[in-house]
Homo-oligomer: A and B are copies of this chain.
Amino acid sequence: MKIAIDAMGGDFGPTPIIEGVVKALEKKDFTPYLVGNEKTIKELLPKKYHSLVRFINSEDVIGMHESATEALKRKESTIYKSIELLKSGEVEGVVSAGHSGASMSLATLRLGRIKGIKRPAIVTFMPTIKKRYSLVLDVGANVDCEALNLYQFALMGEVYAKVVLNTFNPKIGLLSNGEEKSKGNSITKEAFSMLESFDNFIGNVEGGDIFKGEVDVIVTDGFIGNIVLKTSEGVADAIGRLIKEEVRNSGILQKIGALLLKPVFKGLKKATDYAEYGGAPLLGVNGCVIISHGKSNSKAIKNAIFQAMKYIENDVTNKIQESLKVH
């Protein structure tokens, strides 16, 4: 399996990316196409792996604060070259922790959308108390959505849950401001009627339902999905800080208590750690594109590569195409 990896994108430069590739190579058999400054990459990559990878030199990187429209003009950039490798069929997937807007635009415009899909969507994995993930989409590709877009997100999320997460009959929920059918804004109310054609549509779900693990695919527009994702991270972060501060301001017994509870907090951290799944697939384009967090560490990159492999092995692009025909 051949996977192009944007080796220079991401907030921390190439180091965690190359380390992540090494970790992935230690576990699984694939050929990474490392796109970036060849000299820098060769210095970071231990010699013994040089024969296992391909080096695709690129001297240009789209900076995190540049405009996504830049991406289309700069044909020498790491992300442009990575997507072109996929378009030409040289590789089967792309992983990038670089400028996500640039990755999305290039994927959509250069690879094209799956026939019939109006808008691609980014799907993310939310931890639940059932210790398995629920899928939320879209989390950032589309800020203004129509009902048909939400309907198609449900379709793509269902395919992903079925073929990649092996969920037998994934339950689909529409994110809303109440469970009753009468709840919703004008767009979600229209989407509700369309979604009733899914046997496994359970109706409206609320923000809190995301973490209960009773619904597998949660559909919303990219504006709200992004806010939900960042709100969730913000609450978890705030609780961690408040606990630390309370412990700091309390007595010796509480400090001992906190030490004894370290394994518990570590377990919690693992359950909610982004790096555990590593990347968010962009569903609806003609090919496997995994978008990783700019702040990805090596573990996140390793798992993003594994995400790409699962996408490719399970032929998600074609499965979405097939599902469109029967819906």
| Residues on A facing B (Cβ under 8 Å) | 67, 127-129, 140, 143-144, 175-178, 182-186, 188, 206-212, 220-224, 226-239, 241-243, 245-247, 250, 253-254, 256-261, 263-265, 267-268, 271-272
Contacts and interface: CB of A to CB of B under 8 A. Distances in A.
A71 B212 CA distance: 33
A143 B211 contact: no
A69 to B, nearest CB: 10
Nearest to A253: B260
Nearest to A266: B246
Nearest to A145: B185
Contacts of A260: 253-254, 256-257, 260
Given A226-B177, A239-B239, A234 B212 contact: yes
A143 B177 contact: yes
Given A206-B234, A207-B231, A257-B261, 9 more contacts: A129-B241, A143-B177, A185-B221, A207-B229, A208-B234, A212-B234, A228-B231, A243-B268, A247-B264
Given A185-B143, A206-B227, A264 B268 contact: no
A220 B226 CA distance: 14
B207 A232 contact: yes
A254 B261 contact: yes
Contact of A257 (B177, B209, B259): B259
A260 B250 CA distance: 11
Contacts of A67: 182
A175 B211 contact: no
A246 B183 CA distance: 36
Contacts of A177: 140, 143, 222-223, 226-227
A224 B234 CA distance: 16
Contacts of A227: 175-177, 206-207, 220, 224, 227-228
Most buried by B among A208, A253, A259, A272: A208
A250 B268 CA distance: 13
Contacts of A241: 129
A257 B260 CA distance: 5
A32 B257 CA distance: 45
B258 A261 contact: yes
A144 B185 contact: yes
A121 B256 CA distance: 46
Given A246-B268, A268-B242, A231 B254 contact: no
B234 A210 contact: yes
Given A177-B143, A257-B260, A231 B232 contact: yes
Contacts of A185: 143-144, 221, 223
Contact of A211 (B127, B128, B208, B238): B238
Nearest to A240: B239
Contact of A234 (B176, B211, B254, B268): B211
